[in-house]
Structure 1
C-alpha cells in the first residue's frame, strides 16, 4: 500500500532532562493549568500528501480536518456533517458543514478536498499513499500515466459537496476517508511555497482543532488552539507541547516529577515502575492491544546476494527468538508468528481467530541447514561465516541498542553469520535510509490505517511506497488485486490467508517479531485523551484538564 505509517516503538530526539529543570512541580496548581506536555518522535513533514510515517500523521491528524475523523476508533463526522452511499455502494456523497474556515479565515470548500486528493494521485508528486484512492474511478490510471486527471471520479457539484465514484465496493472506504493523508489543502498555499510547503509551521494553513505554533526539529512541537476551527468552542486545552526526548529513562523521570503529563510505551523495568505508580494512585494507565506489528524487513535488492534467496530469508526468520525478545528484552508486547495482529476484522470476523499464524502451523528443519541450502541454490559460498548482514535500527537509544544486540546474538549463534548493527540519529534519519534501501535487514514497524487485513498485507505489493526492499511476488500482487475487489468477508479471509503464507513462509518479505500493545500513562487530571488504533496515534480534540 503505502509507506503506511512506519511506526516507531521508541520515540527519539535530542533533549536532555536538564533542559526542563523547573518546568514542573510535584504539586501543580491545576486551577491555572491550561496546557499539556507530551512526547513526540521526529516529525518529517506537515504536508499530508507527502507524509508517510506515524509521527508526521500524529501532527496532521490534530491540525487538519478530514471529512470524517476517528472517535474511539470509528469514523465520526469531521469536516463533513454527513454522507450518503448509493445502493450499489459505488458512489459516496459527502456534505460539508456550513461556514468551514482555514486558520487564516478564508473559506474551506469541497474544492480544497478535491485539490488535495488529486495532488495525492498526481504521478509527479509521488505520494506514498496514492494507492489509498486507487479504488476511485480512473484514479490508478491517472497515477500510472494511462489516464487523465479530468476522468478521475471525484467531483464538486457545489462548494459544500464532494462526490466520489468507486470502481468497486470498498467495505472500509469511510475509514480511508478518515485517514490524515486525505486532509484538505489550499491550492494557492501549496503553489506559493512549492517544495517548502509543509516544512515549517508558517508554510501552510490549518483546518483542524490546532495549529502548529512552533516546530523546532529535534526538540519540540507546540500546538495552539485554532480559533477558526468549526468546533473551536469545544476545545478545552488551548496549548499542547510535544517534546522530543531521546531516552525513556529521561521521560520517566520527567513524568514522575510532573514535567510531562502523558507518556507512552516503556519497556523492561520502567513498565513495572509505572504500573506500581498507578497502583499507588499517582497516575492512571490506559492499556490496549494495538493494530501494529514490528518486524525485520528484508532488502532483496541488497548487494548482499544471499538475500535474493527465499530460504535464506526464511532461515533468518526461523532463527528469531520471539518469546525471548518479548519476555527478556522489552518485557511487554506479544510474540508474532504472523503478519496481521489480533483484533483486525474482516466484516464481523476476527482474522487472527479465523486464521492461525503461519509460523506456528508449519514445521521446519534447522535454520542453519536451510540457510546453507539457500546459499547453494544461489551458487554462493556455502560458509555462513563469509556473510555480513547490515542491520538498520530506528535510532541509537540504549533501548534500541539492547534490542539489536539481542537479535545480533541470536542470528550469529544460530546461523553462523555476522551482523553489523547500523544505528541512526533519529526516526527521521532511519526513514530516509530505509527509503533509500541502505540496509540488508531493517527493524521496521507498521500501524494499520483501517480495520482490515489488507492494511498490512499490501505493504509488500509491487509499487507500494513502503516496499523499499524491492520485494516482487507476482502471486502476491495478483492476490492483493483480487482481495481489493472481493466483497465477501469469508472469501476475503481466505485470500488474505494465502497472501500471509506467501509473505512469511514461501517467499518471505520479512520476519515478524512482535505485535505491539500500548501502555499510556496519564496524570489523573488528564481526561478525554484518545489513543487511536488507526490513523495518527492520538486525538487531542476531546482532551481536557480536570480542575
Structure 2
C-alpha cells in the first residue's frame, strides 16, 4: 500500500508532496539450483569435520518455511525441492542435469515436426495409498494447474502445450488442453510449437501427476498437512503441519516407490533455522548434516574441510512497481539512479561472501550458449550494469525535475533471515549515501508474507529472486512480458514484448534468430533498468563427510535425495 505524506516543503506549486513507499523484498527464488549439476560427496565437500546426525538419516537445515505443498500452487525453491522428492513426473533429472525416464517407461516418441509426444508410462508405479499412477493422473494434474479457478502462478509455463493459453484465458475448455490419455498407461501430448527444452519441463514438479480422488476428497484441506496427500516419489512427506508456518517436517522412504531398491535413506529431516549462528552450532554439535552459511560465517568457515560452494542459475534483482503511472518507479531515471547507487562487488564479496558473483544482466552466466558459436549468453548480451555514485546522483537529479519531487521515504520490507537482513542494511546504506534526499527504512517479514504481498502487488519495490526452471534465457526473460503473472512490478515495453513474442512463435524453430531475439530483449530491459539485477546467487554450505551422493541442480528443483547414502 502506498502512503502519501504532505510536507510543507515548497515546490513549483507552493506545496511539496513527500511520498512514503513500501520497498518490499520478495526473495522468492522459484527454482534456485545449487551445483554445476554433479553429484557431490565427501571427496568434494566433506572432510574430517562434524559427523552429522546418527543412523541412516540425513538432517538438513532450511532457512525458510515451506509456503505450499500443492503441486499446482508452488512457486519457490523450498516447495519445489520438497515436491521433487515426494512426487515424480515422466522424467527425473540425473546427476548431470539430463532428463531421464522415471514415471515414463522409456523416452517419449517425438514426431518429426516436434509437435507430438507419445509417452508410455511404467505400469509398476503406484501412489502411496496403493492406487496405480495412470495417464489420467497426468491429465488431471495438468488440467488442474492451468484451470483459471486454480489461479496457479506457474500455469504460464504450460504455454508451449496446445491450447494452454486459451484455457488459462477462459477461451477453451480443460479437455482441449494438449494432453490426452490414449490408454491407461499411454499419453499423447501436443504442442503449439517445437520446444527444445520440453523434456526438461517434464522433469519439473508443475508437470507431475496428481491423484484426482484424493484432491477432490480433501477439498480446501488438500495439501495443508502431510496426511491429506498421497505421493508417488522416492519419499513421502511426513510431520508437515501447515504451509508457511511449520518449522519441522520430514521425508520418509516410500516403500511403494517403483525404484525403492535404489533409495538408501530411511528419512530426511528438515528443520527451519533462520539464524545462521544457531545453524552452525547445530552442525558442529552433530545435530545437522548440512547447513547454509552466509556473510561473516561463510568467510570464517571457508577453510573448513566440510565447506563447499554451490552455484546456482539464479539472479536476485529489484523489481519496482510501475503499475501506477504516478509512481516514481515509473520514471526511468529514478530506476537508473537506484541501480547506479549499488556497489555489487562489495555486496557479493563483503556482505554475502558465499560465492555469489556480480551479474552482467538479468540472465545468469554459465547457463545457456549461443547455438552457433557456443558463446555464453552474457557475452553476447554484454553488460549494462555499473556502480557510479556520481552517475546515480545525476540520474536522481533528472528524476527530481521530472517528478517534481526532491525527497522520497522508502520502507524496505524484506526477508527476516540473517542473510537478508545484511543485504537490506547494505542496500539501505547504498541508496541513502548515493541519492541525497532518499531515505530508506527497514521492515523484515516472514517468507510466506513476502510471497503473498508480492503476488498481490502490495509493494512498491521488491527484492526478488528467480532461479531457472530450465537452461534457457527465456526462463528469465519471459517473466517480464506485459501482464505475465510473475511480472510483479508491471514492467512494460512494446519492443521487449515483440522480441519475446518472436522468439516464442515465428522463430521458435530457428535457433539463431530466436537467440538474437532473446539477446535484444535482455538489452532492452537492461537499458531501461526495468528490473535492477543485484547478484547471481550461490550458496556456501557445510556438509558432513558421512553424506554421499546428494544431487543438486542449477535449474529446476534444487535437491534430489534419491541417491543419497550415509557412511556409518
Q: Quick check: TM above 0.5? A: yes
Q: Is the 8 A contact 1:322 1:335 kept in 2?
A: yes
Superposition deviation, residue 196 in structure 1: 2.1
In structure 2, what is the Cα distance between the partners aligned to 1:263 and 1:304? 44
In structure 1, what is the Cα distance between the partners aligned to 2:367 and 2:340? 25
1:302/1:427 CA distance change after superposition, 3 Å: farther
Q: Judge which range, 196-205 or 412-421, deviates more.
A: 412-421
In structure 1, what is the Cα distance between the partners aligned to 2:186 and 2:31? 37
2:89 partner SS: coil
Superposition deviation, residue 302 in structure 1: 5.9
- Aligned length in residues: 515
Q: Is the 8 A contact 1:4 1:53 kept in 2?
A: no
Matched, 1:81 2:105: yes
In structure 1, what is the Cα distance between the partners aligned to 2:380 and 2:394? 32
Identify the residue that residue 206 of structure 1 maps to in structure 2. 231
Identify the residue that residue 411 of structure 2 maps to in structure 1. 390
In structure 2, what is the Cα distance between the partners aligned to 1:314 and 1:369? 10
Identify the residue that residue 467 of structure 2 maps to in structure 1. 447
1:215 partner SS: coil
Identify the residue that residue 12 of structure 1 maps to in structure 2. none
In structure 2, what is the Cα distance between the partners aligned to 1:363 and 1:505? 16
2:334 partner SS: helix
Which has the larger share of helix? 1
Identify the residue that residue 231 of structure 1 maps to in structure 2. 259
Matched, 1:245 2:273: yes
Superposition deviation, residue 56 in structure 1: 0.8
Identify the residue that residue 548 of structure 2 maps to in structure 1. 527
Identify the residue that residue 13 of structure 1 maps to in structure 2. none
Q: Is the 8 A contact 1:4 1:52 kept in 2?
A: no
Identify the residue that residue 451 of structure 2 maps to in structure 1. 431
Q: Judge which range, 111-120 or 132-141, deviates more.
A: 132-141
In structure 1, what is the Cα distance between the partners aligned to 2:316 and 2:102? 31
1:27/1:168 CA distance change after superposition, 3 Å: closer
Q: Judge which range, 108-117 or 420-429, deviates more.
A: 420-429
Identify the residue that residue 44 of structure 1 maps to in structure 2. 67
1:137-160 Cα deviation digits (max 9, x unpaired): 111111112222232221111111
Identify the residue that residue 176 of structure 1 maps to in structure 2. 201
Identify the residue that residue 376 of structure 2 maps to in structure 1. 350
Superposition deviation, residue 131 in structure 1: 1.4
Q: Is the 8 A contact 2:481 2:500 kept in 1?
A: yes
2:83 partner SS: helix
Matched, 1:502 2:521: no
In structure 2, what is the Cα distance between the partners aligned to 1:267 and 1:439? 26
In structure 2, what is the Cα distance between the partners aligned to 1:522 and 1:363? 39
In structure 2, what is the Cα distance between the partners aligned to 1:520 and 1:179? 24
In structure 1, what is the Cα distance between the partners aligned to 2:452 and 2:437? 27
In structure 2, what is the Cα distance between the partners aligned to 1:389 and 1:421? 6
Superposition deviation, residue 198 in structure 1: 1.2
Superposition deviation, residue 444 in structure 1: 1.4
Residue in structure 2 matching 1:133, options 150, 155, 158: 158
Identify the residue that residue 296 of structure 2 maps to in structure 1. 269
Identify the residue that residue 260 of structure 1 maps to in structure 2. 288
Identify the residue that residue 4 of structure 2 maps to in structure 1. none
1:59/1:262 CA distance change after superposition, 3 Å: same
Q: Judge which range, 488-497 or 81-90, deviates more.
A: 488-497
Matched, 1:167 2:192: yes
Q: Judge which range, 131-140 or 412-421, deviates more.
A: 412-421
Question: What is the root-mean-square deviation in Å for CA atoms of aligned residues?
Answer: 2.4
Q: Is the 8 A contact 2:411 2:442 kept in 1?
A: yes
1:388/1:304 CA distance change after superposition, 3 Å: farther
1:106 partner SS: coil
Identify the residue that residue 293 of structure 1 maps to in structure 2. 315
1:8/1:300 CA distance change after superposition, 3 Å: same
Matched, 1:459 2:482: no
Determine which structure has greater relative contact order: mean sequence separation of CA pairs < 8 Å that are 6+ residues apart, divided by chain length: 2
Superposition deviation, residue 355 in structure 1: 2.6
Matched, 1:307 2:339: no
In structure 1, what is the Cα distance between the partners aligned to 2:51 and 2:540? 24
1:369/1:86 CA distance change after superposition, 3 Å: same
In structure 2, what is the Cα distance between the partners aligned to 1:161 and 1:180? 20
Q: Is the 8 A contact 1:391 1:419 kept in 2?
A: no
Residue in structure 2 matching 1:368, options 372, 393, 396: 393
In structure 2, what is the Cα distance between the partners aligned to 1:441 and 1:151? 39
In structure 2, what is the Cα distance between the partners aligned to 1:365 and 1:411? 12
Q: Is the 8 A contact 2:381 2:523 kept in 1?
A: no
How does the TM-score come out when normalised to structure 2?
0.86
Q: Judge which range, 337-346 or 143-152, deviates more.
A: 143-152
Instruction: For structure 1, list consecutive stretches of 5 or more residues without a partner in the other structure.
Output: 10-25
1:319-358 paired onto structure 2 within 5 Å: 319-332=341-354, 333-346=356-369, 347=371, 349-358=375-384
1:197/1:29 CA distance change after superposition, 3 Å: closer
Superposition deviation, residue 125 in structure 1: 1.1
1:350-397 Cα deviation digits (max 9, x unpaired): 21233312326x9997222222323433xx3241xx2112322122x3
How does the TM-score come out when normalised to structure 1?
0.89
Q: Is the 8 A contact 2:415 2:450 kept in 1?
A: yes
Q: Is the 8 A contact 1:304 1:440 kept in 2?
A: no
Q: Judge which range, 237-246 or 466-475, deviates more.
A: 466-475
Q: Is the 8 A contact 2:85 2:235 kept in 1?
A: yes
Matched, 1:220 2:248: yes
Superposition deviation, residue 478 in structure 1: 2.1
Superposition deviation, residue 52 in structure 1: 0.9
1:222/1:450 CA distance change after superposition, 3 Å: same
